[in-house]
């Protein structure tokens, strides 16, 4: 791992999972009820995560429907009846999620020293609720709804670049998601990338990122 990171013009973040705790499991468990054993539920949750990824690789459409369709596809795989209001329940849960405990203080410090940007895979209405919970100053917040594309589509990143009139090498992009963020960012020439390891993804060092366990560690690498 690098002992320092070049000073960027912008520090961009994924939001859900990276800064906000992606707490979808409890709502999913409630939707499933007692239809699966605990071991089966764990596998179902893994499948649901994979289908959410696949669901955003096409054309953009509303995030609540993305959640519903990914859940429905997972239920189909498991031979389960789909809750009619699954998407509504899952979307409502997003609005209640809070930052990871280790985020607010170091993120505020980071925002006092750098221009912070969010590039999020959600509709704008979710970020309107979630971003104020983070307690930091943000230079810009961009959403999949604004871009018209979800990550890992390149166009989501290109939207951020176009809005800021910036180049990939001017960013340090931080995410806890290798597949959604760090892989496409590397493809597009983002030379400075950080994987905030929250245990979501298998390490893929070929994509040239630095791994940290906390934002405090990131701040240290940036010299603040």
158-202 pLDDT, tens per residue?
999 999 999 999 999 999 999 999 999 999 999 999 999 999 998
CA distances from 202 to 178, 179, 197 (A): 8, 9, 10
H/E stretch holding 108 reads helix 104-111
Mean pLDDT of the chain: 96
CA distances from 87 to 31, 181, 187, 199, 220 (A): 10, 24, 32, 25, 40
Q: Taking residues 192-217, what's their average pLDDT? A: 94
Record the pTM.
0.94
Q: Which residue has the tokens 């859940």?
A: 71
- Each residue of 97-144: pLDDT tens digit? 999 999 999 999 999 999 999 999 999 999 999 999 999 999 999 999
Q: Taking residues 42-63, what's their average pLDDT? A: 97
β-sheet bridge partners, residue 195? 175, 211
What gap in Å lies between CA 224 and CA 152, rounded to an integer? 30
Which pLDDT value is given to residue 34?
A: 96
What gap in Å lies between CA 63 and CA 54, rounded to an integer? 13
H/E stretch holding 195 reads strand 192-196
DSSP state letter for 99? B
Percent of the chain at pLDDT > 90 equals 94
Strand order in the sheet with 171-175: 140-143, 115-120, 10-13, 171-175, 192-196, 210-212
- The 10 Å Cβ neighbour count of residue 34 is 7
Nearest C-alpha neighbor of 169 from the set 152, 156, 155, 157: 157
């Amino acid at each position: 791992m690098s002992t320092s990171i070049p000073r960027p013009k912008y520090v961009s973040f994924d939001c859900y999972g990276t800064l906000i705790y992606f707490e979808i499991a409890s709502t999913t468990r409630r939707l499933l009820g007692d239809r699966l054993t605990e071991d089966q539920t764990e596998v179902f949750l893994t499948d649901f995560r994979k289908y959410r990824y696949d669901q955003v690789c096409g054309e953009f459409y509303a995030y609540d429907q993305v959640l519903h369709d990914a859940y429905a596809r997972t239920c189909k795989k498991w031979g389960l009846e789909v809750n009619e209001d699954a998407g509504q329940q899952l979307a409502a849960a997003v609005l209640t999620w809070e930052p990871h405990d280790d985020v607010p203080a170091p993120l505020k410090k980071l925002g006092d020293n750098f221009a912070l940007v969010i590039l999020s895979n959600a509709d704008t209405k979710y970020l309107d609720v979630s971003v104020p919970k983070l307690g930091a100053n943000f230079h810009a917040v961009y959403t999949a709804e604004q871009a018209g594309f979800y990550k890992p589509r390149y166009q989501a990143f290109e939207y951020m670049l176009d809005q800021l009139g910036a180049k990939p090498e001017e960013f340090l992009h931080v995410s806890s998601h290798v597949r959604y963020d760090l892989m496409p960012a590397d493809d597009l020439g983002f030379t400075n990338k950080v994987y905030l390891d929250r245990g979501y993804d298998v390490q893929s060092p070929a994509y040239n990122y630095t791994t940290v366990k906390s934002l405090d560690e990131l701040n240290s690498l940036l010299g603040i």
